[in-house]
Structure 1
Amino acid sequence: MSEINIDHLRDWQGRSEEQCDLIAAFPANALAATLDRNDAEYSIGDALPPLWHWLHFLPLHKLQDRGYDGHAALGTFLPPVPLPRRMWAGSRLTFLAPMKIGQALLKRSEIKTMSHKSGRSGDLVFVTVLHEVFDGDLLCLSEEHDIVYRAAPAKDAVSPALHLAPEYSDFSRKIDPDPVLLFRYSALTFNGHRIHYDQPFCVGTEGYDGLVVHGPLLATFMLDVLRRKMPDAQINAFEFRALAPVFDTNPFSVHGLANPDGTVKLWIKRHDGALAMEGTATLGPYT
């Protein structure tokens, strides 16, 4: 494994890229079907539900340019961190204006911060990317996206301590993940990462317990259960962080607890009681 040269990697800090996309109806209708929602068919003029913009502005790379894990090889926009595991650690989003089907929107992305830590679990590199989505000059969305890179754990490594999920919630939904669910979300997001569909690679090479449920899919389930409970609520902000992986080998549950201040605490609870993801949604009109 190469040494981490954080000064070299910081050359990527401040790099930016832009993507334009015409927001289409098919991805929204396909995700609604994947989440087993009973929504009316999405069409021109309908606003995307929160987080469904993740089905758009998808980076395209040639198959020959993939890395060993199916992701695009690093070193273009994202830095060439010499650590094999790349994961979505969390996000902080502010929803400022609706993103509607039929609109041509622009997304600007910039690498904001980068840091290196070394501890009992080995080297970790954290990268935060700022994404902003515009309709002309109107800012519709601001998102800070945290990515963590780490080494593969040693075979005799001690598993990190797990946090227990809260016992009480106002509402919840049980999800039975399977390879079909993960394949659909991978296809909708053009995500070639093999840990989500290639079971021999995921278990035999990467050492996971099963196929890994996508972090953004778990976050989508959290806001989905909120929208099922409060269908008329407007969500103007959402933040979440991933704490433990979720696999296709066991069911998990999505929970919500409303707070008096207009926020809703949301979390993912694994079958073993572990807290896999936690987040907070803020309700109210667009800010």
Structure 2
Amino acid sequence: MLEEFLRDWNPRPVVEHDAMAPEQTRALAHVLEVPAPVDELPPLWHWVHFLTWPPHSDLGPDGHPLDGDFLPPVPDRRRMFAGGRVSIAEPLRLGTPAERTTELGGVEVKRGRSGEMAFVTERREFHQDGRLRLTEEVDYVYRSGESETKNPNRLRPTDFPDSTAPWQQRFTGEPTRLFRFSALTANTHRIHYDEPYCREVEAYPGLVVHGPLLVLLMAELAREHRAVTGVSFRLRRPVFSGDPVLVCGDEDGSFSVRSDQVHAEASMTFDAPR
């Protein structure tokens, strides 16, 4: 029972600092193929800042760190990025040192068709110049051992779906883009760059597109049309490298990444039109 391992787990808050140097942001702009911001950080671009690089010997067989402040003490731990919420009081600014405080937001054990899952929420606050700029909650799902529901021979989409959404952007996650995004976010999980590992160990049909990248694509589509002040998102099923998907959005704030199924969803809040 996962509850037995989590009963006494109560990590302390962690305070970190970042110079908010522009190099990471410029690199992300090239990966997303959008103009690089000069001053204010676009929504969710803080994900390429406050990075952690543990020693190579501290990584597990899957590439994930073996230990960390908010990694729960679950045996044979497997992690999935599940969803989250971001509220932007003021955009973070490049070139101004920032402080991030992370604390445990909650832990809940649930049982699904594939077994027990521990839902862990990390809550983060970002300050600059003594002001709270951004609040974030990120939800992770942890399993003990491997799920039995993966199918490496599953049918995959072959073309972009049709949609009546007023805002649309096609996307196909090539291996080179996934590799660059892994580097920019210090993500060493092998499912994003090691295809033999994906097939032989994780039973996936191909490289997995990063969940945060899918969320960024939705936020970027929204940013083309409106000023985003908040994002709530949920990852439903993985997208694999080479699969054609459509990023869809509407002025009511509803967004999705879809093929013949919905892979990710988001709800955006916008600044009032001027």
Paired position in structure 2 for 1:268 = 257
Take 1:226 and 1:71, find their aligned partners in 2: how far apart are those partners?
31
Paired position in structure 2 for 1:214 = 210
Paired position in structure 1 for 2:32 = 35
Q: How does 1:249-260 map to 2 (within 5 A)?
A: 249-259=242-252
Q: Give runs of ≥4 in structure 1 deviating > 6 Å.
A: none
Take 2:12 and 2:29, find their aligned partners in 1: how far apart are those partners?
34
1:67-124 CA-partner distances (Å, limit 9, x unpaired): 1211111354321222532011001110011211101000000012111122321111
Does residue 107 of structure 1 match 2:100? yes
1:138 aligned residue (131, 143, 146): 131
**Sequence identity of aligned pairs in percent?**
38
Take 2:81 and 2:149, find their aligned partners in 1: how far apart are those partners?
23
TM-score by length of 2: 0.90
Paired position in structure 2 for 1:87 = 80
1:154 aligned residue (148, 158, 178): 148
1:24-73 CA-partner distances (Å, limit 9, x unpaired): 11111111111111x2x544xx0010000000011221110011211111
Aligned residues of 1:10 and 1:114 also touching (Cα < 8 A) = no
Take 1:191 and 1:82, find their aligned partners in 2: how far apart are those partners?
21
Displacement, 1:201? 0.6
2:239 aligned residue (242, 246, 257): 246
Aligned residues of 2:11 and 2:69 also touching (Cα < 8 A) = no
143-152 or 236-245, larger mean C-alpha shift: 143-152
Cα distance change, pair 207–115 in 1 and its aligned pair in 2 (3 A): same
1:134-175 CA-partner distances (Å, limit 9, x unpaired): 114211110110000124223788x99xxxx99431111111
1:229-287 CA-partner distances (Å, limit 9, x unpaired): x1xx221111000001000031111000112xxxx1110002xx1100001110016xx
Aligned residues: CA RMSD: 2.1
Query: Amino acid of the residue matched to residue 81 of structure 1?
Result: V
Cα distance change, pair 174–24 in 1 and its aligned pair in 2 (3 A): same
Aligned residues of 1:25 and 1:101 also touching (Cα < 8 A) = yes
Paired position in structure 2 for 1:121 = 114
Take 2:182 and 2:108, find their aligned partners in 1: how far apart are those partners?
28
Cα distance change, pair 155–218 in 1 and its aligned pair in 2 (3 A): closer
Paired position in structure 2 for 1:284 = 271
Aligned residues of 1:13 and 1:113 also touching (Cα < 8 A) = no
Take 2:68 and 2:127, find their aligned partners in 1: how far apart are those partners?
26
Unaligned runs of 5+ in 1: none
2:13 aligned residue (8, 13, 16): 16
Query: Amino acid of the residue matched to residue 35 of structure 1?
Result: L
Paired position in structure 2 for 1:50 = 43
Take 2:90 and 2:10, find their aligned partners in 1: how far apart are those partners?
28
Paired position in structure 2 for 1:168 = 164
Cα distance change, pair 198–265 in 1 and its aligned pair in 2 (3 A): same
Displacement, 1:7? 4.4
Query: Amino acid of the residue matched to residue 269 of structure 1?
Result: R
